């Protein structure tokens, strides 16, 4: 693959011209930062003295924040509760210049909150407040109606499935039918237990654990990776599969082509939270900007390499992306022959 500085700049110049709909599980990420000086006398657990806290967009909302940071217009479609957390979520969305007009309120569930306690740069524990039951037929119809209202405006759809009940099989099939009819690019960040529901998508972005689980074959060797990637590509009838592999980078599988292996861009790793959100958002924004699937994978790899260097969910802007890609062009480390 030839991706030079001129081509990088050509793609970057086209960022910020598309509308992308993000459909999925909307969350709030709460971080409590502190220090540990002693063990509790009540149980053998550390006592964390909380010194600061922050709220961040999580799940599908973090994907939307990544799309916004890249310059495109996100349309965030999902379900929240009628609670204080949804108010905080709306405030955060407004701060990121993301509309909450497509967020559907469901009286039967609470807004998902993931609380992480961090001490000395280490996560001590995570506590989740959530509902995971599937949407009722009535709420699902409201969600689908809001999708249909903007389906003629969007260039791509991102399915952000965290298994919290929003991505029902019937909703997914209805959305996919419309996307195929209208030629809308569909990218899926999958939940492994739903994996085989995502048929004939444009790209699906599992990590290597999820991919191995879905195919029933653990990825340990390069041969395993090739078998799983090509096998899933055939099973799902997908246009492409991007398997993220942590410190080993990413591998892109496309119909009728040899796999492309992309070494990691990360120079330091503080927190992988939300890295998958950055991967899929950057991939889709690059596609909307005219990149090929392979070029989009390289762009997304660069984006992930930047965000894992920060604590908590993070986003990446086009100038950062451009700088990182150009650095790797100069170093000759954009792609590799071997997995």
- With CA atoms as reference, report the closest residue to 254 among 237, 278, 269: 237
Beta bridge partners of 80: 105
Question: From edge to edge, which strands make up the β-sheet containing 103-105?
Answer: 103-105, 73-80, 19-24, 156-160, 185-189, 203-204, 240-244, 250-254, 260-262
Residue 244: DSSP 8-state: E
Question: Catalytic residue at 25?
Answer: no
Provide the Cα torsion 260, 265, 271, 274; round to 10°.
-50
- With CA atoms as reference, report the closest residue to 57 among 101, 108, 100, 16: 100
Structure tokens at 56: 């961040």
| CA angle, residues 274, 280, 283, in degrees to nearest 5 | 135
Catalytic option among 29, 106, 189, 277: 277
Provide the Cα torsion 172, 176, 178, 181; round to 10°.
-170
- Compute the distance between CA of residue 46 and CA of residue 5 in angstroms, rounded to an integer: 50
- Compute the distance between CA of residue 206 and CA of residue 211 in angstroms, rounded to an integer: 6
Q: How far is CA 199 from the centre of its chain?
A: 18
H, E, C per residue of 56-104: EEEEHHHHHHHHHHCCCEEEEEEEECCCHHHHHHHHHHHHCCCCCCCEE
Provide the Cα torsion 247, 310, 103, 152; round to 10°.
-60
Supply the residues annotated as catalytic: 277
């Amino acid at each position: 693959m030839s991706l030079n500085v001129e081509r990088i700049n050509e793609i970057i110049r086209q960022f910020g011209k598309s509308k992308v709909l993000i459909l999925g599980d909307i969350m709030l990420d709460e971080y409590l930062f502190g220090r540990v000086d002693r063990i509790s006398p009540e149980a053998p657990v550390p006592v964390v003295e909380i010194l600061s806290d922050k709220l961040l967009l999580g799940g599908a909302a973090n994907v939307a924040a990544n799309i916004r940071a890249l310059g495109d217009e996100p349309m965030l479609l999902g379900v929240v509760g009628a609670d204080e957390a949804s108010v905080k979520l709306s405030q955060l969305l407004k701060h990121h210049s993301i509309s909450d007009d497509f967020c559907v309120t469901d009286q039967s569930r609470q807004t998902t909150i993931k609380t992480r306690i961090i001490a000395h740069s280490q996560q001590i524990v995570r506590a989740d407040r959530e509902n995971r039951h599937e949407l009722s037929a009535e709420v699902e119809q409201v969600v689908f109606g809001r999708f249909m209202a903007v389906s003629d405006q969007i260039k791509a759809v991102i399915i952000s499935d965290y298994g919290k009940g929003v991505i029902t099989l019937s909703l997914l099939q209805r959305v996919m039918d419309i996307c195929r009819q209208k030629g809308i690019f569909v990218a899926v960040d999958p939940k492994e237990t739903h994996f085989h529901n995502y048929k004939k998508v444009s790209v699906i972005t599992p990590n290597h654990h999820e991919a191995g689980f879905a195919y029933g074959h653990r990825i340990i060797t390069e041969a395993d990776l090739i078998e799983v990637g090509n096998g899933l590509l055939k099973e799902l009838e997908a246009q492409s599969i991007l398997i993220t592999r942590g410190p080993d980078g990413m591998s892109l599988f496309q119909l009728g082509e040899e796999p492309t292996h992309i070494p990691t861009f990360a120079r330091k790793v503080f927190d992988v939270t939300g890295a998958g959100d950055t991967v899929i958002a950057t991939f889709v924004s690059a596609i909307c900007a005219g990149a090929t699937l392979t070029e989009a994978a390289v762009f997304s790899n660069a984006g992930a390499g930047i965000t894992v260097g920060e604590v908590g969910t993070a986003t990446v802007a086009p100038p950062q992306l451009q700088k990182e890609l150009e650095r790797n062009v100069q170093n000759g480390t954009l792609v590799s022959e071997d997995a």
